[in-house]
Structure 1
Amino acid sequence: MSTPVGVRGPDGPPVRTSVVGLGWAAKSIWLPRLRQHPAFAVASVVDPNPAARAEIPQDRAGTRLLDDVAELSRDGTDLAVVAVPNHLHSTVACRLLRMGIPVFLEKPVCLNSAEAEQLAAAERAGGTVLLAGSAARYRADVTALRRVVRQDLGELRHVELSWVRARGVPDAGGWFTQRQFAGGGALVDLGWHLLDTVGPILGPVGFDQAVGTVSDDFVNDRSSQAAWREDAPKDAGSDGDVEDTARGFLVTEDGVSVAIRASWASHEPYDVTRIRVDGSAGSATLTCTFGFSPNRRKGSSLVRVRDGVETEVPLPEEEIGAEYLQQLDELPGLLADPASQGRTVDEVRRTIAVIERIYRSARRARIGARSTRAARPVPYSTLLNTEDHHA
């Protein structure tokens, strides 16, 4: 591995950062936070669209506006934050990694296991490091839940994960709802965050069993669109072909069960994220809202239950989006740690394998349902009505 980036901060040289891809995530999440964080300097932004580059305000650092990552160099770039559309994540990240440039890649890190292996090969070839967006892990309430699980719940038995939006289909009619570009729907998008939070709870375990279902009742309903993203209206004929809801049930190698639900839209009044962990000595439930949706109940709650007694665990107040700044706090140290190489890819392999298995199970269920309907005997009354009609 090449010489790692030194630990940097307010009193040292900043991490010279390039933001690649100037969509919603870059403009709303990463650019503002990178520019306010003392450990980073936005040295350049990269996007092939001149209009997107023109929207980026200059700062005192004199950010360079580039149209291709080929214009970047390892000598002048300490980190590339990649926030391009999903289908380009692996391609762009692999180019940068092979150039020897460390990459921080937005989720979903990849769309299939083959892309995970391509990222692993590129990381090794470039002698650098791949890091990934894992903001939910850095939430104060999620951190508090992990502490309760570790200290109070005994042997783990079951975990329930759900992120259910009332309305929140992203970029409805655009690439986000097209399978060829997004790789999937709510499971790839919200489900990745949920699986990322369960990783530190369960540890690096595999899953012996995985089944799931998907549905698409809301994905093409324009009233279910994520209004807070301010996506431009799309052609009404551009229907999505991904799921807006996915449900899965998993069993780990050591017998812990995991239920997961990810929904871009539902019949609920508010957007709610819930993580419940059952153990031999008690249970704990975190109720909050991940993400930026304004359609949320205020604050988070963490309740521990033991022997029929509920205890409210105090949680610090936290601004919406604070977890992204907290992840940035950790990035310089991860860049400087030689042990970081390969760690993200190992986690990504496990996450994408689960997503692929849920999708395969859902496809088999749909094929089976169609076969059952096709083979179902026609009721005698229907035959009579048909014969009467033709008479």
Structure 2
Amino acid sequence: MHSSAAEKDETAAPRGMHLALGAMVACQVGLHACVQGVRLAAPLNVLRLGYSAWSVGLVMTMFALFPALLALPAGRLADRRGYHLPVRVAAVCSLGGTLLAAALQNLFTLCVAAALCGAGSGFGMIAIQRSASRLAQSDSERLRVFSWIALAPALAGLFGPMLAGLLIDHAGFSAAFLALALLPAATLLAARAVPREAPRPAPAPGVRKTSAWDLLRLPSLRRLLFVSWVVSLSWDVHGFALPLLGVERGLNASALGLVLAAYAAASMTVRLLMPLVAGRLSRRALLCGALLLTCAVFAAYPLFRSAWAMAACAAILGIGLGLVQPAILATLHEVTPPERQGEGLALRSMTLHASMAVMPLLFGAIGAGIGAAALFWLMSAALGLGSLQARTIHADRGS
């Protein structure tokens, strides 16, 4: 009798973990597909209403600015209250943003909608990634968990803009925003399948409150934040500089579409395969190897002139960047104290969103001054430096 009960418990635990992980992936797909759809619909609506390109830039800035401003409060709330309250806040923000955009379409409301949907996606991502790490019992299992979590942005990046684009063309902008509002509503339902976490007890009276910036005293966390920023920067450089390089090489829009499709297909494929092999991979070897691979690709990219050669580079780049994201998230949870992992994720999110808001201006200045090829080579050097930093990352939570 006792042995059969123990066997039932052993089978129930993995089943419960898989259900919770599936629900977390669904929650992130809902929030991320919503913001990606609004990211397509809002600027198109701004142009349809007759506003200038500067207004489009203002709306697009809102998507990155508010996640950066709210990252630390989101991380602290996730550490203090667990999964459900932050995800509910995130879903309500995204739901409110899409409903506002559907009801009132002018520059102000579209800016507010972009801010709310961007904040919702960023707020929810921190809570989801923090709670996902608690499903794992070992380093290899954590890497596998984050491999599944990394699928969510890829799926959302396909589904959200496709849904928005089809509805804009066939039913108009209001219908598109209303349909996108169903995605955070679905997140609220999917979150019910995630087990509740006991809230962290309040600190005793007289205990000094810690600041998230204190975490930067951990050398390995500083190095990992640099690596994470470099990887994020490489995505942005590729998206920004590839059209410039293609025009310099005389490629037409169809050829550039082929290159970007090769990148997207390789990135999606490696993310689909990653959970199947994550248990056999070393997190450190994966992190360093992926950075060196992307470093080599960025160095080689400007040397090619044909669309097929550039598509091959893009596919290899998609593999490298698809591999590195789960390794970064798994490593962040290893080098951050367990009770402050939400704050660690918040520092990462704040760094990335601030970079997204500022760096395109710098890319434009460099590209205009010394050409697109220089952007690729500068990025290659930064990735090489990132791989050196990755080799020195250790679990130094108590440092």
Task: Determine if the TM-score, normalized by the shorter chain, exceeds 0.5.
Answer: no
Instruction: State the structure with bigger RCO (CA 8 A, min sep 6), 1 or 2.
Output: 2
Name the structure with the higher strand share: 1
User: Normalised by the shorter chain, which TM-score bucket?
Assistant: under 0.3
Name the structure with the higher helix share: 2
TM-score of the two chains, using structure 1 as the length reference: 0.25
Rg bigger for which structure? 1
TM-score of the two chains, using structure 2 as the length reference: 0.24
